[in-house]
Amino acid sequence: MDRELAIMNANQTLRGYGFTIKKVFCESNDKTFYVFTNEIEDALTAKSVLTRNENAFYYLLIESIVKPFLESNDDTFNFSEHLAIGITSANNLARKANITIILGEKIIKNWINQYWFQKIDSESKITLGVRTLAQKSGYLIRKYGLSACKHCSIVCFHGVKCSKCNVCWHEKCLPSNTLTCSSCSSPLLMDQICK
């Protein structure tokens, strides 16, 4: 049985218990991950694992990572410029969440080890990690008006875009030989910023 089919079958059972295995394409390192997620308990778990300040810190980091992407008018895209924050600025954000910078540094290190964030640019910056993409895509899309990939539903920053209706795909998620949009049949544009 191939992997995709095995996961589909597993998900049919897991969903009954509030779990899903999500396939997540991570744009920043061009890799595909399979992330085991807890759909129902996510909010509750986050609350019990993180303190209120840590939770605030987490969302502050997300906001400052996404901000340059939202504000940019460039028609090219790269992670270190458009979807990242410098490590020092990230550590400094801890203060805004009433956490000391030293503790903030430790927390960020843990979050990187747990794939919530990911180091890029010779480790001088951090961007969103695969776990954040898997578990917080819905939040990112709602809160910041970002696009969801038509195929995998994970937030999509850069990829293939319909020339008319704004539908997006990660480049890896678009079935090969697809040249027109499945929603409106207009031609698709490659290498686009999806927002």
Contacts of 154 (CB under 8 A, 6+ apart): 22, 24, 25, 133, 134, 137, 148, 170
For Zn ion, which residue of 97, 126, 173, 188 counts as binding (CB under 5 A)? 173
Nearer to Zn ion, 44 or 165 (CB): 165
For Zn ion, which residue of 84, 130, 152, 160 counts as binding (CB under 5 A)? 152
Whole-angstrom Cα distance, residue 81 to residue 193?
13
DSSP classification of residue 145: -
Q: Site mask, Zn ion, residues 110-149, x = CB under 5 A?
A: ---------------------------------------x
Q: Which residue stretch of 47-55, 66-74, 100-108, 160-168 sits at the interface with Zn ion (rule: CB under 5 A)?
A: 160-168
Check residue 170 for interaction with Zn ion (CB under 5 A).
yes
Closest contact distance (angstroms) between CB of 195 and Zn ion is 15
- The three-state secondary structure class of 186 is coil
Number of residues in contact with Zn ion, rule: CB under 5 A? 13
- Spell out the alpha helix ranges (H) of 15-129: 42-49, 52-71, 79-82, 87-93, 101-113
CA atoms within 13 A on the CB side of 100: 3
For Zn ion, which residue of 26, 181, 188, 193 counts as binding (CB under 5 A)? 181
Closest contact distance (angstroms) between CB of 159 and Zn ion is 7
For Zn ion, which residue of 165, 180, 187, 191 counts as binding (CB under 5 A)? 165
Whole-angstrom Cα distance, residue 118 to residue 89?
15
Q: For helices 52-71 and 101-113, what crossing angle results, to 10°?
A: 80
Check residue 184 for interaction with Zn ion (CB under 5 A).
yes
Check residue 174 for interaction with Zn ion (CB under 5 A).
no
Q: Give the footprint of Zn ion on this chain (CB under 5 A).
A: 149, 151-152, 162, 164-165, 167, 170, 173, 181, 183-184, 186
